[in-house]
Amino acid sequence: MKCLIFLLLVSTPVLASKNKTWVPSYKKKMKTQAQVKQVPQQAKLKKIGKKKIQPTSELERLFLVKPKTNAHFGVLKKKSLEQKQAAVPTLIKVMKSKSYPSENRWVATYMLGRIMGKKSAPFISKFSKHPNWMLRLASLKVLLHLGQKQYKGIYAQLLEDKSLIVRHQALQNIREMKLVSLAPYVWKMLYNKENYLGLKGSRKRSNIIKDAIKVVGELGFKGAKKPMLKMFQKNKYKDVYAELDYSLSKLDRPSPAGSLEIKKHFWMRQSLKEVTI
């Protein structure tokens, strides 16, 4: 009996070892290296994999289609208007998700404002801080369309947006809504290096500078009068003489008809009158 137990104990590890297939050490090493290489590849695929949206309505399906022609935008607008309030959940979903083409998200923002009117303003104003410049632009355009003057802080802030087209739209909002209190912020645009083209030492004023000069006059910002009179005396501002003349005519009096040289002479005389002895 004791011998039988002893044989069972000795034979157990031997039987277990026979069930395993013997693998040479070099193959074991190759197998381990292959497994290590596969791990990051699988992880990468999982990370960049994009979840496909399953549209729950025909309108949403249309918003998922990347536009190839302007006719597509017309279809989106028409279908949204047909559904009226029923389209609102879809429009909000499109605005909030980057899975939809940016151009379609722009249309969704516009249509939300058109369908809901001023009630949509608080929600749409939040997109003025969106990472996508197109949605920031859409937010500004819709707020202007709705005549939302109370968002002065947003307009002033976006005058310094990293996108030139967004800065220009913010300027247009201030101009068309005649937001006089924001005139100092508009004047500040003349000192923003982002509004100039070219490298340091050879920068040129972009068109947004010309518009800013005109808006300052339209808003009646008297604080800009003396600096603009001094600008008229320097040849380096020759490219904006026409805009300076327009703005000064709003802040002071109309300049005489004639060439820019005649106007320059007129404003130089006005500048002397501004000197306090």
Residue range 252-273: mean pLDDT, rounded? 89
Give the number of other Cβ atoms within 10 Å of residue 75's Cβ: 13
Location of structure tokens 């290489």:
37
Q: Between 55 and 166, whose confidence is greater? A: 166
Instruction: Give the pLDDT confidence of 122-154 residue by residue, as tens digits.
Output: 999 999 999 999 999 999 999 999 999 999 999
Confidence of residue 228 (pLDDT cuts 50, 70, 90): very high
**Is 138 within 8 Å of 129 (Cβ atoms)?**
no
| Angle, helices 207-218/164-176, rounded to nearest 10 degrees | 20
Task: Provide the pLDDT for residue 272.
Answer: 85
Instruction: Give the pLDDT confidence of 2-46 residue by residue, as tens digits.
Output: 443 433 343 444 334 444 555 555 455 555 554 544 434 433 333
Residue range 145-168: mean pLDDT, rounded? 97
| Range 178-194 burial, b when 16+ CB lie within 10 A, else e | ebeebbebbbebbeeee
Take residue 137 and report the two structure tokens written for it: 């632009």
Residue % of the chain over a pLDDT of 70: 79
Start-to-end CA distance of the chain, whole Å, equals: 129
pTM listed for this prediction: 0.78
In terms of DSSP bridges, do strands 204-205 and 196-197 run parallel, antiparallel, or are they unpaired? Answer: antiparallel
